[in-house]
A = this chain, B = another copy of it.
């Protein structure tokens, strides 16, 4: 990574060099053989794998070996409620839903509603409860199977989780969290403890089932420090190390640095209406095109830095042929930035129209998803 780039669970900034992330974090890139194995099981290919949007992993081969032996894994991912859901949040969840469908597996979806409370000075539990409900609607709207999907809300399910978190916490000392998360003497003791709560869903289903079940965590790469610690601890308390599969960050509207954040004008939210999407893309979406039409026709555009093209590639154009066509035309100057933006606006709005319909229906379905069992 360039020295000004930063990737931690709480901050992603600067131009991220993913090859350096792989090296520094100690994850592995996903090889062709693993992609083929996944495709064989799924019966189809997924563009996020083909295109390297999910680009890294830990222990993926073990997960596939176990699966092929008939030992199914469960999926674990999550969302710390702290604001509205934007397209960047949806990216790993869309792939997670595909995994759930194709592998026919359980998903444990954690909502650590204390995390942002602990890490943000001016956020209270009342506000978080509102975000939590809104965020759950977006997850449900993506179409997860309610029979195989279990929402775990930290403060609500602490009766299940806290004891297990203590088992993890006993094995982690202050100097480990200081090194992993940059904590210091002024860090509050809730934040210091928190990583133990994030570890719990990776083995809670095994505790409930009273037998070890492999766990696969799809997540954006910035969360890896939590799971690195989790993986260190698990064998010491009698559990499997969770495997993981990591994706790139969806870039913010204004360019390729950092990740889409929740600042109002940098992100497209799932609740934005058609006009807002159009306005944001037209006003902010960083363009890879040239300064004038004439120059663009002559030199062509640069899809690598064009945000609209990146959104199509990472989320909205699963068809490789169509994407290649757009790329070709944009690169040779045949397609103008305005046209590329129009295509993207249409794609996003078509997606959001459906999503918002399902989101509305989800309001009556929250209870189907919240975990009700006991150990």
| A contact set with B: CB distance below 8 Å | 114, 117-118, 125, 154-163, 165-167, 169-175, 177-178, 183-193, 195-196
A158 CA to B162 CA in the complex, in Å? Answer: 6
A359 CA to B98 CA in the complex, in Å? Answer: 58
| A114-B166, A118-B166, A163-B114 known; A172-B158 Cβ under 8 A | no
| A118-B170, A170-B117 known; A189-B162 Cβ under 8 A | no
Verify A173–B187 contact, CB threshold 8 A. Answer: yes
A171 CA to B191 CA in the complex, in Å? Answer: 11
A12 CA to B125 CA in the complex, in Å? Answer: 39
Q: List B contacts of A117 (CB < 8 A).
A: 166, 170
A188 CA to B158 CA in the complex, in Å? Answer: 20
3 tightest Cβ-Cβ pairs between the two chains A and B: A169-B190, A158-B162, A159-B159
Pick the most buried of A155, A187, A190: most chain B CB atoms within 10 A of its CB. Answer: A190
Pick the most buried of A125, A165, A166, A189: most chain B CB atoms within 10 A of its CB. Answer: A189
Shortest distance from the beta carbon of A236 to any chain B beta carbon, whole Å: 12
A188 CA to B196 CA in the complex, in Å? Answer: 11
Q: Show 15 A/B contacts (Cβ-Cβ < 8 Å), sorted by A.
A: A118-B166, A125-B167, A154-B162, A158-B162, A165-B190, A171-B188, A173-B186, A173-B189, A174-B174, A174-B183, A174-B187, A189-B193, A190-B193, A192-B193, A193-B193
Q: List B contacts of A196 (CB < 8 A).
A: 189-190
Q: List B contacts of A157 (CB < 8 A).
A: 159
Query: How many copies of the chain does the oligomer comprise?
Result: 2
Please name the residue on chain B nearest to A125 by beta carbon: B163
Shortest distance from the beta carbon of A160 to any chain B beta carbon, whole Å: 8
A158 CA to B196 CA in the complex, in Å? Answer: 15
Pick the most buried of A161, A163, A171: most chain B CB atoms within 10 A of its CB. Answer: A163
Q: List B contacts of A161 (CB < 8 A).
A: 158, 162
A158 CA to B375 CA in the complex, in Å? Answer: 14
Please name the residue on chain B nearest to A177 by beta carbon: B189
Q: List B contacts of A175 (CB < 8 A).
A: 185-186
A117 CA to B169 CA in the complex, in Å? Answer: 11
Q: List B contacts of A172 (CB < 8 A).
A: 188-189
Q: List B contacts of A166 (CB < 8 A).
A: 114, 117-118, 155, 190
**Apart from A156-B159, A158-B158, A159-B160: 4 A-B pairs, beta carbons within 8 A:** A117-B166, A154-B162, A155-B162, A171-B188
A175 CA to B162 CA in the complex, in Å? Answer: 24
A126 CA to B174 CA in the complex, in Å? Answer: 26
Shortest distance from the beta carbon of A48 to any chain B beta carbon, whole Å: 35
Shortest distance from the beta carbon of A201 to any chain B beta carbon, whole Å: 15
Shortest distance from the beta carbon of A210 to any chain B beta carbon, whole Å: 14
A173 CA to B170 CA in the complex, in Å? Answer: 19
Q: List B contacts of A170 (CB < 8 A).
A: 117-118, 188, 190
Q: List B contacts of A193 (CB < 8 A).
A: 169, 189-190, 192-193
Shortest distance from the beta carbon of A173 to any chain B beta carbon, whole Å: 5
Q: List B contacts of A114 (CB < 8 A).
A: 162-163, 166
